[in-house]
Structure 1
């Protein structure tokens, strides 16, 4: 049993089949099939439940998958540490950022970090905060931005920023001249919302549950430019972080606060007791240094 076999086995289980695993790993399918057959033969166990629709792990396969995840992660960490001990000058920071922060808050920090460390590579992934937590746990990401209200116990976090959540309406909307609106007023309108897993959707869902009434959803999309276009055309209103409305280039949208102000606290997170490379540590130090100046 070797790491290559384990990585192939892991990919087949996670992708649900040999063809999907081959595409994911960018290798030929026969190579994966041969490696898995050899692995099962060596262990004298059936590791995969094969069916026409999807391949899943057997009970024995599930046990091996847990070990494979740990071994592959440790091998990756060992390789990274050895490279750093050799004085490697290049590295990569893999960070996940929600779309609004990625578009309106983080660009100056990312560009500033790249200017200071031009030899380092930045890989930025856009996802909802809940999905980002999963990606940090699985090792797909080194760092991510999460909601700070209830940080998971298995993640290390550092506070980044507090942002106000506001209703976003076109200038012609009756709410545009109000100094604030109530939640009942907001939910009386047709809404444009993010898909589940994003903090703004959780905000909508949470208040809907408190009111005991489902919102009227006109559109559901994670695309900020599309959301703004829909709101501009009067097909619904939405909620954004204030910065998203105030930094809008066309300046034809209005940020209306809620009568009971709503704020969102966001933190930078990584796996607790996990390994952070020198590049990751440099990024954390840079971000926290510059956030503290704001």
Structure 2
């Protein structure tokens, strides 16, 4: 979702300022983002990672619901409702533990005293998608 929204912002910005150049840096770690901001290497950041830092101001742009990424023929595809207990027997694919989304998902499992079977910890969404397509697991996403 962020990629789509950000590309729309860039399109509008380019219409208003056609001679300005934009450099996009793709990073996934809060510490890298923090260093880039404080070192004045970037002017602003759009991230799905909540950064709490006394030297950085952040604003929530939007909320996204959590979804489950599954292969089309997975048994979950036939269910009308999926609960956390349903995930116990599944191979779960999550983002890296330092990602806020992964931490939030794991916290919910912990609060419900459910131990998910985490098979893969992946850095990039593209790899998660490939693993799900190959039937190697399922994934919670925002």
TM normalised by structure 2 equals 0.78
For 1:148 and 1:219, locate their aligned partners in 2 and report how far apart those are by CA, in whole Å.
20
**Residue in 1 aligned with 2:16?**
116
- The higher radius of gyration belongs to 1
Match of 1:105, SS state, is helix
For 1:199 and 1:177, locate their aligned partners in 2 and report how far apart those are by CA, in whole Å.
29
Distance verdict in 2 for CA 1:178–1:150, change over 3 Å: farther
Unaligned runs of 5+ in 2: none
- Measured against aligned partners, the alpha-carbon deviations of 1:71-115 in whole angstroms (never above 9, x if no partner) come to xxxxxxxxxxxxxxxxxxxxxxxxxxxxx623x331121222123
Runs of 4+ in 1 over 6 A off after TM superposition: none
**Residue in 1 aligned with 2:44?**
143
The count of corresponding residues between Structure 1 and Structure 2 is 141
For 1:148 and 1:205, locate their aligned partners in 2 and report how far apart those are by CA, in whole Å.
15
Match of 1:175, SS state, is helix
Does 2:135 correspond to 1:222? Answer: no
Larger strand share, 1 or 2? 1
Higher relative contact order (CA 8 A, sep 6+): 2
Map 1:240-259; keep pairs closer than 5 Å. Answer: 240-241=141-142
Distance verdict in 2 for CA 1:210–1:111, change over 3 Å: same
**Residue in 2 aligned with 1:29?**
none
**Residue in 2 aligned with 1:159?**
60
Distance verdict in 2 for CA 1:213–1:179, change over 3 Å: closer
- Measured against aligned partners, the alpha-carbon deviations of 1:4-52 in whole angstroms (never above 9, x if no partner) come to xxxxxxxxxxxxxxxxxxxxxxxxxxxxxxxxxxxxxxxxxxxxxxxxx
Larger helix share, 1 or 2? 1
Q: Does the Cα contact within 8 Å between 1:192 and 1:217 map onto a contact in 2?
A: yes
RMSD: 2.6
Does 2:137 correspond to 1:236? Answer: yes
TM normalised by structure 1 equals 0.42
